[in-house]
Amino acid sequence: MRKKTNNWSDKSLVEIRVDLDSGSYSSEELVKNYLSLIDKLEDKIGALLYFDKEQVLKEARAADKKIAAGEKRELLGIPILIKDNMHVAGMSTTAGSRMLKDYQPVYEATVVKKLKASGAIILGKANMDEFAMGSSCENSYYKITHNPWDLSKVPGGSSGGSAAGVAAGYCPAALGSDTGGSIRQPASLCGLVGMKPTYGRVSRYGVIALASSFDQIGPFARRVEDAALVLKIIAGQDSKDSTASHLSVGEYDNLVKSTVNGRKAAIVKELYEGVGDELRVVFDHAIADIRDLGVVVEEVSIPIIKYSIPVYYILQPSECSTNLARFDGVRYGYNAQIDQDVYDEAEDLYEQTRSRGFGMEVKRRIMLGTYSLSSGYYDDYFGKAARVRTLIISEFKKCLAEYDYLLGFTSPLTAFGVGEKIDDPLSMYLTDVMTVSMNLSGVPAISVPIGFSDGLPVGMQMVGNWFAEADLFKLAYNYQNINNWYLKKPKILKDLI
């Protein structure tokens, strides 16, 4: 007889795998549970942009047949949510923009192919800030996503839909992209684990580019071991992406006997100071727990981190303006003539297409980037910022030669109100102050929940050496197991399960 459970959202991917293989419940039953939550919560949260209930159930039934036949795959029959800047066959890819409304990709992202090869069911496409530009998930052309912990708050961005979906119990894991903190920051604001791998650890093929030298794909999950399993599946070289590393992928999910006793960590002064006292109390308790694990924790200063925001907001918009130049209304995507306007001059068509097709934040960054790259200003802005980026990388190399881990806040604040910062771009950009230096340097970083302040989640950022994701997962896993913050759920979810 099958056992019944009302605690689906408590289960890890490993536990679900065991249950499905043992026949405790079917993939169809599992998926129906998630679909039930979506039916009840999605109108309030707004995490999804594309979702086909019947197709998901069809794939669950097909998975059940494979499981019954004895097929063994790590994610067989388990639903995973995908950020809407990653191509999935049969699903539209909009990147949260009017410019790509109803766009159907002609190829599939490598990360999606790898998930499908492992047996995963693609649940749907998650809402996001337009072209991944934003820190609140308010910049989508289609809808605003709300934080399941408090519907008046944002979930963070740009991968806010992915984070909100996992936090609301829609699925056990999701993929996001991280250009300046877009996995880690929403993970912190939504009480999740969020991993940004080393630049090049995961293929970017089939992912709509924001800033090609920064973008990286990674997982959201409630538990560290789930994030580790998903990263193991999607990581690795790809002949279609020359920036994807040829280094072998570790057994990231082999964490059961891991230990961090005797390791060295440093609290980075610049990633700790300037944060409110209530959050610092939560952080200090987490540091005490990490010391109890046998980790030697000291303090270090990396003064050059203070230049990360200005450097990032020169380099990233510059790459953005170049990557988005392709959207001119001629080759694909939105065309202003769809609105029944007729333009005799190509320039007028380009101007109106880009003016109407892009949102305000995208246009702002295109203008910033174009200015930084323009003749007469390139050396003063882009060139100088690129040189400072090299110095930032050098400083991280020095610190990570001495310490196994660098620690700090993921976000300088908990989830803020919907509409609170949307009209103040500088204030919004500063919400990335703790995360952008890791994208500038390319090091891996993971955000883990460490407690709450006024009922809202607080996250700690753990940073490791290049391609040392396995070490980060070990620290995060050991910390998780003495706190179990992942068992905490938003009230909106607890009331339904």
- Sign (positive or negative) of CA dihedral 219, 224, 228, 229: negative
Strand partners for 121: 79
Q: Please report, as a single letter, which amino acid is at residue 89.
A: A
Q: Choosing from 140, 159, 162, 182, which is the catalytic residue?
A: 182
d(CA 370, CA 366): 6
Which residues, in sequence order, are CB contacts of 53 under 8 Å at separation 6+?
35
Single out the catalytic residue among 97, 118, 158, 447. 158
Are the beta carbons of 460 and 409 closer than 8 angstroms? yes
Tokens for 305? 């981190």
What count of residues does the chain have?
Answer: 497
Spatial distance between the Cα atoms of 176 and 157, rounded to a whole number of angstroms: 10
Catalytic residue among 83, 114, 421, 474: 83
Q: Is 158 a catalytic residue?
A: yes
335/338 Cα distance (integer angstroms): 6
Cβ-Cβ contacts under 8 Å for 43 (sequence gap 6 or more): none
Question: How many Cβ atoms sit within 10 Å of the Cβ of residue 61?
Answer: 13
Where in the sequence numbering do the catalytic residues fall?
83, 158, 182
